[in-house]
Amino acid sequence: MKTAVIVFPGSNCDRDAQVALRHATGQEPAMVWHKDGTIPDGTDLVMVPGGFSYGDYLRCGAMAANSPVISQLHAHAERGGYILGVCNGFQILCETGLLPGALMRNTGLEFVCRPERLKIETTNSAFTNAYSGGEITIPIAHHDGNYVADDATLDQLEGDGRVAFRYLDNPNGSARNIAGVISENGRVLGMMPHPERAIGGHEGGTDGLGMFQSLMAAA
């Protein structure tokens, strides 16, 4: 599986993503600087990593959503490529319209950083097919992880089976405890928890590895 990681000014999880993809696929991902605007031909998966793109000025992810690489990201999704946005990456994907909803300030108005239990809501996706359901534990680290959308959008996500993960102990006030959502075409996933920080056992367990194994099987 050929992979790439988009790097913005202020990204700080791009190296975590690089290590996770190298570990999972056995191949080195392409590191794409956001102003290059070119995702390598033949890329199967693009990761939009966590961090604080552009220092989180304006809304989180709003400035990154206007970067030159975003048109390439849209084109990648349209031709059937996979996209995984984690934390700030999730915020960016919502700002670009690749995913519905928005990420707001945590209801407790505090940064949260801890392992978090998630319920796997669907195993019928390219991102979760290697899981057998049940629960996993994935680290979180965010200040603006409160997922919001109008009721009609939330109902549609639920009805279409596009809620990928749900918090068992909602750390940020997200609507309906949603921790991750999938696009209408099933090719884009955004989530606040960090699966790339749970792939080797030493940095927070191995429960994130199933996501990359799922994507390899799908690709």
**Active site (annotated) includes residue 116:** no
- Counting Cα atoms < 13 Å in the Cβ hemisphere of 203 gives 15
Rounded to a whole number of angstroms, the CA Rg of the chain reads: 15
**Active site (annotated) includes residue 196:** yes
**Active site (annotated) includes residue 87:** yes
Beta strands in the chain (DSSP E): 3-7, 30-33, 45-48, 82-86, 102-104, 112-120, 135-142, 146-148, 163-167, 178-182, 188-191
From 92, 204, 101, select the one nearest 84 (Cα to Cα).
92
Q: In angstroms, what CA-CA distances link 96 with 59, 77, 91, 100, 129?
A: 12, 12, 9, 9, 26
Q: Which one of 13, 34, 76, 87 is the catalytic residue?
A: 87
- Tokens matching residue 215: 């994507």
What pairing do the DSSP bridges indicate for beta strands 135-142 and 146-148?
unpaired
Local structure of 119: helix, strand or coil: strand
Which residues are catalytically annotated? 87, 194, 196
